[in-house]
Amino acid sequence: MFKKLLIANRGEIAVRIVRACAEMGIRSVAIFTEPDRYALHVKRADEAHFAGTDPLAGYLDPRRIVSLAVETGCDAIHPGYGFLSENADFARICAERGVAFVGPNADVISRMGDKTAARSSMISAGIPVTPGSDGNLADLKQALSVAEHVGYPVMLKATSGGGGRGIRRCDNPTELRAQYPRVISEATKAFGSADVFLEKCILDPKHIEVQILADSQGEAIHLFERDCSIQRRNQKLIEIAPSPQLTPEQRAYVGELAVRAARAVNYENAGTVEFLLSNNEVYFMEMNTRVQVEHTITEQITGVDIVREQIRIAAGLPLQYRQQDIQHRGYALQFRINAEDPKNNFLPSFGKITRYYAPGGPGVRTDTAIYTGYTIPPYFDSMCLKLVVWALNWEDALDRGARALADMRLQGVRTTAPYYQEILKCPDFRSGVFTTSFVPNHPELLNYSEKRHPSEIALAIAAAIAAHAGL
């Protein structure tokens, strides 16, 4: 097992990895840039090293990070999610310098990061994919031809895209002509590649993803699925495990497809295979070669520590489980509490957290890196915490989520929490039957009134009195 591990990330996922290392007897090393000097992952790690004044550069320089790992005696690096987690060069440099990369090898990352190469691999493995272009588009003329063949609407996608960027829906040739240069421009700026491809737009699908684990001995298993249909502009808001929408037969089918996908590319470590479901048809969407933000809910329903398994696999150890060992129990929901104002088109709300109180009680988990007095910097994503709830049945899980959201106190910035409370009240959500169109089809849920808790009012009165008295 590793003796020392560098965490090439920040925020709540870095804290999550620190905790896994502590349980495994591994010394953890954090890195930070100037805005994160007082961040929680810096305080919690066994060691912390300054990575530069530029907010982002220190987290995005693979050679410098690997050199720091070598200098500090680390024998492994965990990339978390985002930043360099799906950067093939980063994994390759780790291998060159003799530092274990907690993730798949560079070749797999490269192939699965290229959406057209991933499609080709899945087709070869007999896994259904959405109709679309065979490889990257040569030009607009070809895009128009493919679109006419598969039928509108279509999705124009950046080959190296991710995180909801580099994607445009086109409902007719006029829109495709307008969006084609825009997607190329966005892809070039965000991902350094102008390659794009085209797929048939699957209308009102369910977005289902399957968690997989695979070791270096050729064993691969799945940990069941997560439902990510509640999303806004391709950004996930609430995730659920398992999906309340799947039959046992569908659950077994998508799980088998995910394992087949992993074996087809000789996958190793934790990963996620994403599918779209529509009219009982299943289509492969993409494979994420890293730990997902929403891995927490899979841990809640299976009892498997996914980050711990990642580290064990990277150390060359075999999986501790076989497929028959994995069972799911109850339902778990994850709410991404973002510092955004839903009533103002989800405008980011960066600033100082004047008060934070984490909800607790049975079946409640919070993964976060914030604390009272912490200032959310404007350089990174706006997620404050992941609130996870679990209960034995669907209705109880919803009620527990409502209670936990009401218990939480996060003041100083606006958050998405009130919006999630409205979603939990919605009959269409509570029915357990919804698609990726849920959010745009329910704009009325944004018409909530923000009620201040008595404790907030008391604090405001006390502050006013203190200011008046000149204290």
Active-site residues, by number, are 290
Please give the full DSSP string across 342-366, using - where no structure is assigned: GGGTTEE--EE-SEEE---STTEEE
What letter does residue 319 receive in the DSSP assignment?
P
Contact 205, 155 (CB under 8 A): no
Residue with tokens 């109709």: 131
C-alpha distance from residue 355 to each of 8, 23, 270, 366, 455 (Å): 29, 30, 35, 16, 11
Q: Smallest Cα–Cα separation from 76: which of 312, 318, 321, 319?
A: 312
In 25-61, which ranges are continuous DSSP H helix?
40-44
Q: Smallest Cα–Cα separation from 208: which of 198, 221, 191, 222?
A: 222
CA dist., res. 450 & res. 448, Å (int): 6
Considering only CA atoms, give the Rg of the chain.
22
Residue with tokens 């929408």: 245
Q: Smallest Cα–Cα separation from 168: which of 149, 147, 148?
A: 147
Contact 358, 384 (CB under 8 A): no
Handedness of CA 252, 254, 260, 262 (dihedral sign): negative
Residues with Cβ < 8 Å from 296, sequence gap 6 or more? Answer: 332, 334, 365, 367, 386, 388
